Amino acid sequence: MPDIIGLLASPILEGNTAVLLDRTLQGAHDAGCTTELIPLVSLDFQACQEIYYCKDHETCIFIDDMTQMYPKFAAMHGLVVAAPVMNMAVPGPLKTFIDRFQVFFTAKYFRKQPLVSQELRGKRKGLFLAISGTDRPDVFTGSRLTMKSFFDVLDCAYHDEFLVPGMDRIRDISSRPDLLDAAYQKGFTLGTLLAQGTPYLSPGIDQTTAAPQ
């Protein structure tokens, strides 16, 4: 069974981002995957200090909650990251989390010895869920760039995204079953592809942004 990690980057454990992620993971589960939810607020870790211990080692010099994340993120088959937009970017704790994956960056690009096995590279797929208060056309641009960088470092294809703008109007995502169903379908599709071991094929991510009503 493929393993999918769901990384919740909202500090609100039952908020709109969390509900969307829950629906997505349910879809992936129904498609035959095992899922694990990791709320970022449950982790204690510090920011990268650019010591570059990881240039010569397969882990970070700091021993904190990131230490157990590295093997987990090396072994996963799929990843769903769910994040609200904060100041036109991903929330600070998520960015700090991503920066600590310099351990994977140095292994892949400096030592040319990726921490992800050859068998998993080319099969791993990720999905990015994001919501924002406003409808600004460029509101997801910053988050998307950061996420594409993260997925590349992880050797996880940026398979798809589901972006929901206008939450200041929608307020409660539960009032929009269409969005919940779409999130479920995203998860189901990801889970199906992973369960089949399908190599990466881009579904045309720019068409998948949810139009607000």
Ligand X SMILES: Cc1cc2nc3c(=O)[nH]c(=O)nc-3n(C[C@H](O)[C@H](O)[C@H](O)COP(=O)(O)O)c2cc1C
Stretch that binds ligand X, among 84-92, 113-121, 152-160, 182-190 (CB under 6 A): 84-92
Q: Which of 33, 60, 85, 115 binds ligand X (CB under 6 A)?
A: 85
| Closest alpha carbon to 209 in 113, 93, 130 | 130
Q: Which of 46, 49, 134, 196 binds ligand X (CB under 6 A)?
A: 134
Tokens of 12: 């609100």
Stretch that binds ligand X, among 54-62, 100-108, 125-133, 155-163 (CB under 6 A): 125-133
Q: Count of CB atoms within 10 A of residue 90's CB?
A: 26
**What's the CA gap between 55 and 77, in Å, rounded?**
25
**Beta strand extents in 31-165 (DSSP E only):** 34-39, 78-84, 125-131, 157-164
Shortest separation between residue 113's beta carbon and ligand X, angstroms: 37
Number of chain residues interacting with ligand X (CB under 6 A)? 16
| 129 near ligand X, rule: CB under 6 A | no
Tokens of 31: 């498609």
**What's the CA gap between 148 and 6, in Å, rounded?**
16
| 17 near ligand X, rule: CB under 6 A | yes
Shortest separation between residue 115's beta carbon and ligand X, angstroms: 30
| 146 near ligand X, rule: CB under 6 A | no
| 132 near ligand X, rule: CB under 6 A | yes
Shortest separation between residue 20's beta carbon and ligand X, angstroms: 8
| 93 near ligand X, rule: CB under 6 A | no
Amino acid, res. 125: K
Q: Are 140 and 165 in contact (CB under 8 A)?
A: yes
| 180 near ligand X, rule: CB under 6 A | no
Please say whether the dihedral angle defined by the alpha carbons of residues 102, 104, 106 and 109, taken in this order, is positive or negative. negative
Interface positions with ligand X (CB under 6 A): 10, 12, 15-17, 84-88, 131-134, 139, 167
